[in-house]
Amino acid sequence: MLCKFLERRLTVLNPAKWEIWQDPDGTVQVIKRLLSENLRAYIPRYMVAFVFMGMVAATTAASAWIMKDVINEVFINRDKMMIYVIAGAVICIFTLKGASTYGQMVILSRVGNAIVADLQNRLFHRLTKQDQAYFDRMSLPELGIRVNTGAGSARSVIDMIVLSLGRDVLTLIGLVGVMIVQDPLMSLLALVIMPPIVVGVSFLVKRVKTYAKRQVVSNAKIGSTLQETVLGIRIVKAFRVEPTMQQRMATSVAEVERQSNKIASLTARTSPLMESLGGFAIALVIFYGGYSVVELGKDPGAFFAFITALLLAYDPARRLARLNVNLSKSLVGVRLMYELIDEQPDLEQIEDAPDIKVGRGQIEVQDVKFSYGEGAALNGLTFTAEGGKTTALVGASGAGKSTVFALIERFYDPQEGNISVDGQSIKSVAMGSLRRNIAYVSQDSYLFNISIRDNIAIGRPDASQEEIEAAARAANAHDFVMEMPEGYNTLAGDGGGRLSGGQRQRIAIARAMLLDAPILLLDEATSALDAESEAKIQAALETLMEGRTTLVIAHRLSTVRHAHQILVMDRGRVVESGTHDELFEHDGIYRRLCELQFQSRNEAAE
């Protein structure tokens, strides 16, 4: 027991064992990676900034050094000429310091802005490479924090390190040099405060890291509540959910406030530590220096130069004392950023995968099993969609119809089984080429906040205006587009919010028509249309579907009566297949669905 006690005491007393020098959570590795990835391209500009910071440090040291001549030459020797010389020197020193500070700030600001821009582009590029499963488990506010806060935190860490090394360390070296030249013994007395500061700061760092992580989580909750309220504002108002959402927001805001106050309190604790120990050191210096001047007849100018250097050293020393605490706060955001950068998609493309070659466009689904989590979405699904023909998927909600589309477009990979197009497994071809050959219209068509023209041409940016308008006419969208104030230049709004549901759907159909892909996936493509528009769109879709491999999901069975093949799905499997007439005569699930939807038995059979 005694040995263990002594070992713990020796660990505390050994500077090499202090936690500030250890790296239990990879802090040093994160900083090394951050600097190695982001500084190389800006080394020339950082070198210029370091020159400016060196000049700032030198002029700061010179302003302390010159106090010796101010006291000795002006006040003791009363040399009139030295008054002009010293005044001119002071003007030169501080002019040079001001110009150097300006140069340093401009360069570091521009480099910092460039680093943030590079990181945000890198993060967004990495984000677009993630698979659908990643977005299923990540919320929008959390992604926003990783992209925005992560890049900002990375800049903060780099700025703190560069300024600490270039400005504060160099300034301290210059000022300590002045102190040592004036009186080495007094310098030693002034530095007795260093070990207690190191120990105190290392204790604070642990707690700051904990609260900084909690603060990030609380900020994500605020973003999540705001997102749900804005996107679901009609439901919020219709069901009078405002008090509930307000309470959720108030709780999240209160959590952030508590974490912020705690972090501020912990960070501020370095101030009384520095003030008290700094005051103790200055008192020792004044006691020894004053005694030396009064009793031992030492140079009073040197004493004042020493005191000036000591006082000027206080601010950079305080910033360096807080460096580890401030780094700990910002490194939370940097780690979140690197989690996104390092995230490997579950869905991977084989190296140098060839482009898919689509001829007839026959799709084969062979014994596919897939699950989003615990329950199976598809359970041994097998079917063939003949090239150039229409295959309809019908069944109750949750039968797995939309999952089939997601797998065909390779948003996910099945856990078992295989999907192929014209005999080519979709896992063995380039994903980009696969998706270029598929046009998709969903029941909830998403439009971007760009012009209607650009929304239609999003799959074919090189399409001419004539081709865009032709696609819009075929989708029964041209007339309402031309009635808008700016026609095809009208912005669609976030998610197409400036258009009605039916208008959004027609723009989405026009987008698919313009793409002219050999495979067409229609997921309730006419669900948002009124009867008149549906009739017009259905005719346009029939033209579009002609000669293409088309898979259609429809709950309204009237839209799939004329499909070449109808697959009835239940619990992730095909339980019936055939034409409308064949399935109706079979007297199974499909027939019961028809009889539920149609008014009469004769109408269902037609």
Residue 210: what residue type? T
Q: What is the dihedral of CA 431, 437, 443, 448, to 10 degrees?
A: 70
Residue 213 scores a pLDDT above 80: no
Alpha carbon distance 220, 368 (integer Å): 37
Residues 418/427, Cβ–Cβ less than 8 Å: yes
CB–CB of 337/120 below 8 Å? no
Least confident of 94-108, 235-249, 325-339, 498-512: 235-249
26-209+266-342 and 356-437+546-606 share one fold: no
What is the value of pTM for the model shown? 0.76
Reported as a pLDDT band with limits 50, 70 and 90, residue 600 is very low
pLDDT of residue 602: 47
Is the domain spanning 356-437+546-606 CATH 3.40.50.300? The answer is yes
Question: What pLDDT band is residue 212 in, cutting at 50, 70 and 90?
Answer: low
Q: For residue range 252-279, what is the model confidence (pLDDT) as tens digits?
A: 888 877 877 776 776 666 566 656 666 6
Residue pair 171/316 in contact (Cβ under 8 Å)? The answer is: yes
pLDDT at 188 over 80: no
Q: What angle do CA 25, 28, 32 make, to 5 degrees?
A: 135
pLDDT of residue 276: 65
- Residue 237's pLDDT band (boundaries 50, 70, 90)? confident
For position 528, what pLDDT does the model report? 59
pLDDT band at 351 (very low <50, low <70, confident <90, very high): confident
Mean pLDDT of the chain: 81
∠ CA 57-59-60, rounded to 5° = 65
Residue 111 scores a pLDDT above 90 = yes
Spell out the residues 6+ positions from residue 289 whose beta carbon is closer than 8 angstroms to its own: 183, 186, 298, 303, 306, 307
What average pLDDT score do residues 210-232 get?
70
More confident residue, 13 or 561: 561
Residue 332 amino acid letter: V
Per-residue pLDDT, averaged over 347-370, amounts to 89
CA gap 270, 267 in Å, rounded: 6
Yes or no: say if 197 and 280 are a contact pair by the CB < 8 Å rule: no
Write out the H or E segment, with its range, that includes residue 392.
Answer: strand 390-394
pLDDT higher than threshold 60 for residue 134: yes
Whether the per-residue pLDDT at 466 is higher than 90: the answer is yes
pLDDT digits (tens, 9 = 90+) for 374-402: 778 899 999 999 999 999 999 888 888 98
Domain ranges in the chain are 26-209+266-342, 356-437+546-606, 440-516
Write the pLDDT tens digit of every residue in 422-462. Answer: 999 999 999 989 999 998 888 778 888 899 999 999 888 89
Convert the pLDDT of each residue in 515-553 to its tens digit.
888 999 988 877 656 677 677 677 767 777 878 899 999
| Listed residue (190, 175, 356, 370) closest to 277, CA to CA | 190
Q: Which pLDDT band holds residue 190 (cuts at 50, 70, 90)?
A: low
Among 123-127, 169-173, 343-347, 572-576, name the one with the lowest average pLDDT: 343-347
* pLDDT given at position 203: 57
In what side-by-side order are the strands of the sheet with 573-578? Answer: 438-441, 519-523, 549-553, 390-394, 565-570, 573-578
Q: What is the pLDDT of residue 131?
A: 87
> Do residues 186 and 289 touch, judged by C-beta distance below 8 A?
yes
CATH topology of domain 26-209+266-342: ABC transporter transmembrane region fold (1.20.1560)
How big is the chain by its Cα radius of gyration, in Å?
36
Pick the CATH number of 440-516 from 3.40.50.410, 3.40.190.10, 3.20.10.10, 3.40.50.300: 3.40.50.300
Cβ burial of 563 (10 Å; 0-12, 13-18, 19+) is buried
Of 250-259, 283-292, 356-365, which range is least confident?
283-292
